[in-house]
Structure formats: structure tokens, C-alpha cells
């Protein structure tokens, strides 16, 4: 008996199809996770999940905690979808609550310290598996240069525990729309790019606990300095240095050292 043919991959714009429902997404991962000893990976991954769930509970998001869509443990963090009506409460107070829990965790002198990045996005995704552009972009935002640069800033290790980035769509609908408990002054616009990836979007950075060092230095300056320097343009080839010249109306011109004899026939001058 032959096996059933695989489902064909639909072509874009071949025909109209129902749009999947909009799902909000939250992704979280840890700074320098790969630098940990292998024996620590599993335990740290579990702690991240526990801290996120505790923060959801403390922020009054128990329903969201218990109804995550397509949750996935990424090893160094987690990602899951949820009903977009919870987005204002994820922006605030969840992010600030998670930052506080991280600060208390790190203040217990446990090893290793945890500093997290978080990204928040929304878009049409199938409920079954959550695969789609919105999910890919959520991970790109999480890996983007601005949010990484904040946690890499020296002098902030003991103060800045969380750096969060919101997509333009979340910022417009939730923050500018007035639904979140934080206003526009709590966010800074950044160009979200990922080194080596064809990704560039407008996004909004939120740092619940910026250090004094970060504030003095400037967030945008920190991001700009983290950019890889552009490769230097190759210098144009220099013209060869001109050698000695000699004008000769007739006969031979001899320049430089000559070994051996020179003979020749010289015609008579006219």
C-alpha cells in the first residue's frame, strides 16, 4: 500500500485563504548562555522558565501562564504565543516584574548570574504550531544588535538585568494606543538589525533598570559603538616612482650599473 502524498506547499498569492488569527509572542533568552559549563545548561534553562512563570503570576497574568500557545524551550530561553489582549500587561507590569525577580535572584550571590533579553511582537500565526514570519521576526528582534549592546555595556552588570525590545506594531497598538501602563517616554526608538542576517526593522527598546553608567554614556551611543566597523576601503594603487630619465638625440643612453663591455655602431651626424 502506497503512503499518502505529502501535503503540497502552498504558493503565495496563488489564491485567497483565511488569515490565521493574530497571536502575541514573547521570547526570552540569557546573555552568555553558551559560555556556561555544560553541566549548568539544564539547570539554568529551568530557572529561566521558573522566573518567567513567577513573573507572569506576580503580574496578574496567571491565565496567560496556563494557556501559552506553542511553547518552546530554546535551551537558553523560551518562546510562546498568547492572546493579544494580554499585551498591555506583558509590556507593564510583567517586564518590570521579571526585572525585579532577576535582580533578587542575582543578589543572592548564586552562580551563575542571569541577565536576560526579551522581545515582544504580534502577528498572524497558525495556532497549531505558530510557524510564520511573525515568529521568525520575534527571534530576530531578540538577537538584534541594540538589545545585545545594552547587556554588553560594561559597568551595568549589577544593575541592568533585563533589556526588552518591542516591535513597531506592538509599540503603536499598545503604547501609543494608550493601553499599557507605560508611556512613550519609557521607550527609545532603535534600528533593529542582526549581524549577518537580512533583517532591519524599526523597534523600541525598554530598560527597566538602567545603570548610572549607561545613562551617563547614553543608550544610543552604546548601540552605535557596538556596531562592527565598516571594512576599510582598499587604498588605490600608487603609481610607480619614476626612474631617472635622459634625453638622447642620437646613439645610446646608458643608465645604472653596467657590467661587461658595450659595443655599437654610431652613425655619423648629419
Pairing assessment for the beta strands 162-167 and 116-124 based on DSSP bridges: parallel
H or E stretch covering 135: helix 133-142
Count of residues making up the chain: 270
The one-character DSSP state at 113 is: -
| 243-254 core/surface letters (b: 16 or more CB in 10 A; e: else) | eeeeeeeeeeee
Query: 22-225 has which CATH code?
Result: 3.30.70.1230
Integer Cα distance of 228 and 220 in angstroms: 15
Q: Are 27 and 48 in contact (CB under 8 A)?
A: no
Query: What pLDDT was estimated at residue 241?
Result: 52
pTM for this prediction: 0.80
The total of other beta-carbon atoms located within 10 Å of residue 43's CB is 11
Query: What pLDDT was estimated at residue 229?
Result: 47
Domain ranges of the chain: 22-225
Average pLDDT, 10 consecutive residues per value, the chain (270 residues): 71 93 97 89 93 98 97 95 98 98 88 92 95 97 96 90 98 98 96 94 96 86 70 52 50 46 44
Q: Are 161 and 103 in contact (CB under 8 A)?
A: yes
H or E stretch covering 77: strand 77-82
Query: What pLDDT was estimated at residue 164?
Result: 98
Please confirm whether the linkage preceding 126 is cis (ω < 30° from 0). Answer: no
Amino acid at each position: 500500500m502506497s503512503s499518502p502524498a505529502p501535503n503540497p506547499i502552498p504558493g503565495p498569492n496563488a489564491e485567497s485563504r483565511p488569515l490565521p488569527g493574530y497571536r502575541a509572542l514573547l521570547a526570552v533568552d540569557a546573555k552568555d548562555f553558551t559560555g556556561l559549563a555544560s553541566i549548568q545548561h539544564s539547570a539554568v534553562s529551568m530557572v529561566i522558565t521558573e522566573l518567567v512563570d513567577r513573573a507572569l503570576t506576580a503580574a496578574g497574568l496567571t491565565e496567560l501562564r496556563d494557556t501559552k500557545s506553542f511553547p518552546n524551550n530554546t535551551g537558553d530561553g523560551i518562546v510562546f504565543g498568547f492572546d493579544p489582549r494580554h499585551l498591555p500587561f506583558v509590556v507593564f507590569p510583567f517586564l518590570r516584574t521579571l526585572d525585579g525577580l532577576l535582580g533578587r535572584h542575582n543578589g543572592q550571590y548564586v552562580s551563575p548570574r542571569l541577565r536576560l533579553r526579551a522581545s515582544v511582537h504580534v502577528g498572524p500565526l497558525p495556532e497549531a504550531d505558530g510557524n510564520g514570519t511573525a515568529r521568525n521576526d520575534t527571534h530576530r528582534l531578540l538577537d538584534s544588535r541594540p538589545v545585545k549592546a545594552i547587556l554588553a555595556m560594561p559597568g551595568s552588570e549589577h544593575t541592568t538585568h533585563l533589556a526588552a525590545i518591542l516591535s513597531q506594531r506592538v509599540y503603536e497598538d499598545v503604547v501609543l494606543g494608550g493601553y499599557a501602563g507605560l508611556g512613550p517616554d519609557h521607550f527609545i526608538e532603535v534600528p533593529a538589525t542582526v549581524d549577518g542576517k537580512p533583517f532591519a526593522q524599526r523597534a523600541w527598546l525598554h530598560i527597566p533598570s538602567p545603570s548610572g553608567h549607561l545613562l551617563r554614556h547614553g543608550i544610543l551611543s552604546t548601540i552605535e559603538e557596538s556596531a562592527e566597523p565598516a571594512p576599510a576601503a582598499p587604498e588605490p594603487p600608487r603609481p610607480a616612482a619614476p626612474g631617472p630619465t635622459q634625453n638622447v638625440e642620437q646613439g645610446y643612453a646608458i643608465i645604472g650599473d653596467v657590467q661587461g663591455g658595450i659595443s655599437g655602431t654610431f652613425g655619423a651626424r648629419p
